[in-house]
Structure formats: C-alpha cells, structure tokens
Amino acid sequence: MESRLLEYDLSGHDLIGSDDDYKHISGMNLNALWGVFWIETVKLWEIGGPIALNIMCQYGFYAITVVFCGHLGPTQLAAVTLALTVVATFCYGFMMGMGSALETLCGQAFGAGQIHMLGIYTQRSMIVLLLTTFLLLPTYVFSNPILQLLGQDHDTALLVGEFTMLIIPELFSLSITIPTSKFLQAQSKVGVLAWIGFVALSLHALLLWLFIYVFDWGLTGAAISLDLVCWINALAQFGYVVFQCKDGWMGWSWSAFNDMWPFVKLSIESALMLSLEIWFPMSMVLIAGYLKDPVTAVGTLSICSTLSEWQEMFFVGINAAISVRVSNELGLGHARATKYSVYVTLFQSFLIGILCMIVVLAVRNHLAILFTDDEVLIKYVSELAQFLGLTMLLSSVHPVISGVAIGCGCQGLVAYINLGSFYAFAIPLGYVLGSVANFGVMGLWGGMIAGLALQTLLLSIVLYRIDWYKEVEQTTKRMQIWGDQDLETEKIKI
C-alpha cells in the first residue's frame, strides 16, 4: 500500500485524463487531493526555490548595501536608504514591471511549444527596457533637487544625490538582467539563476567590506561595488542565454522590432501593476521624512521595510514561479492544472507567512542590530515588530495572486486594484495617522497594513471569479496572433 501511494503521488497517472490535464476531483476524494497537492508542491519548489533565491539575491544587492552603510552613521543610513529604497527602487520597480510582459509571453509560448519565439521576445524586451532606462535616468541625475522639493532634509538629500549619480551604471544593467532572467524562468532553467545570484551577492559583500572598511572609500566604495556586481550578474546571465540556450536563442533578429506597440502596451500594463506595488513601501519611507525627528523616523521605517521587503522578495520568487506554472499550463491548454497549481501555492504561501510572523515576534528585540548600533533605533524597531509581523502575513498572499495575473496576462486589472488600495486609500490614511494624529511611524505602518489588507481582499475576489477555461481560449488566440511571424527574417549572428 505504501509503495502504491508513493507511485500515485509521484507519477500522477491516476489523476491525468485523456487530454493530459488533471481529472475533476471531488472534495471528498482525499487520496486524489493529496496526489495533486504533492505533485504541485514538487513542481512549485523545483521552479520557485531557485527563482526565490535569485530574486532575494538581486534585492540583497540593495539590502546588504544599506546594512554596510548603516554602520557609518544615522545620516548615511538615511541617505543610502532614500537612494536605494526610494530612487533605485522606483526605477527597479518600473523596469521589473516592464519585464513582466516577457514573463507572460515567454511562459505561454514555451507552454505552446513555440520555443523559437523566446529569443525574439527577449530581444524585444531588451530594446524596450534600454529605452526605458533613458526615460528613468533623470530620476537618478536630479534626485537631490527632487527630494529637497519634496521636503526632505537638505544634508540627507545632498548625500543621496551624490550616491545616485555614482550608481547610474546599475540602472543600465537592468535592461539585460531582467529580460534574460525571464527568458530562463519561462523554461524552468532556474538553477543557474540561483547560482549566479548567490555568487554575485557573496562577491558584493566581500567588495563592500573591502572598499568601505579596508580602503575607507565610504559611500563611494559602496556605489562602486554595487555597479560592478550588477554588471557581472547581468553579463553572466546573458552569456548563459546566448551560449547555452540554442533552442530559444537563435541569434539576433530583425523580428524583434515587429509588433512593438502591442508588446509595449502589455509592458506598460505590467509596469503599472508591479511598480505600484513595489513603490508602496518606498512612498511610506518618503512620507517618514515629514515626521518629527526625520532621521530617526526614516531609519526606523527603512529597517522594518528592508526586513519586510526581503521576505516579500522571497514571495516575489514564488510570484514568478506561479506565473511560469500558470502561463505554461495555459499555453498547453490545461485549465484544471492551472487552477490546482494556484490553490496549492496559495495554501503553502500562507503557512510560510504565519511562520515569518512568528519568527519576527520572537526576535523583536534584536531585529535592528544587523543594521545599526543606535539604541534609539533598536528600541523603535522593537516596538514596530508587531506591525511588521502582520505585514509579513499579508505579504505572503498578494504576490502569489499577482503572479497569477502575470501568467494570465491581465495585469491591467491588478494595476487598478493596486492604485486604489495603496495610493487612494493606504497612503492618505498612513499620513493622517502618522502626521496629523501624531502616531508617528506606527501610524504610517498602520496605513500600510490597511492598504495590504484591502488589496489582498480585492485580489482574492478577482481570483475567485477567474474562468480558467476562458483563460485557455484567450491564451490560444494570443499565441496565434503573436506567434505567426516570419522566422526567415534576416538574422545577425553573434
């Protein structure tokens, strides 16, 4: 009996119908439910584990820079936090959002067997993202006057301006890093992403220690290290795509310039969806600059935001994994497999969120030690830990549903939900509670929690109303329109 159950769980033959999709499973069939749960769990973590590690390493480039620079002093901590959490995250969020269109198209094309289109889509995304970097460049160049115009502390804004000018090369590296990572994710070639990200993060930690503490280059050394590591990471991913993925990458092609407007339109919808979500914590850090004792307020909120965002980056990895699963299965025409993979992922993500909340509450008095030696900051962060724990619980759900939206290609609807939940509701509420009602950082974070709760509720309603069979039909139509391109167009080989 045990060996039969093992075979049933691992192979899933008894669960698959003649159309290669799951059979319908009634709620009372516990064996079948366990079989689906086991199969989808294995598939999820085979894809999601390496992606989560890679994205946490990518975010770790920013987070570990804040950690090292935070020990230089409270002003340096506030400046680097504003530079990376506000300016760089603003641009990173928009670039990542633009790249999410590639996640939809590559995933569905791979599922539909149109592997030859992956390279063309990736090149098209590189072109779009490179142009986008030039549009975002003024944000780096004029960060000092922009922050002063927004009412930030003069000395801190001046230091931010100097730092952002030094990390401009990091911005341009994203036009390669993001498309190549989506290209590999769509094919579940995620192990190499995890290794490249881990090695790059380890190198960054070594260079930060060397440049800041050995060579005594201060914030300049931190910026140089960030630029170097981000470009090493980008070129390593690009090299793997070109030389190791011959099926998907068939050389440079003029076809990348075809159908640009539909691609840009989907990219903008994706950017609005994801960037509005990523910009939300950044907005709270910015508002903290208006509170009493802004250096302490920004420092406290930045430490909690960094911890929260590090956990959320893990779930963004799960977001990417479920997006790959959804887009692949929709491309194959498997409605039930798509639905079951979503439910299994949501259940496991919620359990992980509960675990994260428990850990934060257990170590609440020691959370800030990694970032600062300032006793005041350590005390304030400890008091904010209960809000941080609840935020982590809510953040375990909404990235998964956002990943489903990316896999389906319905980013526009989620963008409206994010806009309403965060910017029309949460930010005004947080400002009123934090500044007008004088609850300080706790008031700001209370507004953030309210916004996350509203977003999670609305996304859950959207998920409940999805017709998976209709999504399969729409995916088939999209692949017919976007996939019928002349692949004999002149190619420029590398």
pLDDT, tens digit, for every residue of 305-331? Answer: 777 777 777 777 777 778 778 877 877
Secondary-structure percent of the chain, ordered helix, strand, coil, rounded to 5:
85, 0, 15
pLDDT value at residue 488: 43
pLDDT at 191: 86
Of the chain, the percentage scoring pLDDT greater than 90 comes to 15
pLDDT at 255 over 80: no
CB 181 within 8 A of CB 47: no
- What span, in angstroms and rounded, lies between the C-alpha atoms of 350 and 372? 31
CB atoms within 10 A of CB 420: 16
Kindly report the pTM of this predicted structure. Answer: 0.70
Eight-class DSSP state of 291 = S
> Mean per-residue pLDDT for 247-259?
75
What was the pLDDT predicted at 478? 62
More confident residue, 28 or 492: 28
Q: Of 391 and 152, which is predicted with more confidence?
A: 391
Point out which residues pair with 492 in neighbouring strands.
252
Using left for φ > 0, alpha for ψ between -120 and 50, and beta otherwise, residue 487 falls in alpha
Mean pLDDT, residues 277-300: 69
For 299, residues 6+ apart whose C-beta sits below 8 A from its C-beta are 70, 74, 77, 78, 81, 372, 374, 377
Rounded-to-integer distance, Cα 161 and Cα 392, Å: 31
Q: Where are the beta strands (DSSP E) in 182-286?
A: 252-253
Predicted pLDDT of residue 8: 41
Q: Higher pLDDT residue, 162 or 116?
A: 162
| Mean pLDDT confidence for 353-364 | 89
* Mean pLDDT, residues 42-70: 82
pLDDT level of residue 491 (50, 70, 90 thresholds): very low
Mean of the per-residue pLDDT values of the chain: 79
The per-residue pLDDT for 481 is: 57
pLDDT score of 435 more than 50: yes
CA 218 to chain centre: 29
Residue 409's pLDDT band, with cuts at 50, 70 and 90, is low
pLDDT value for 4: 33
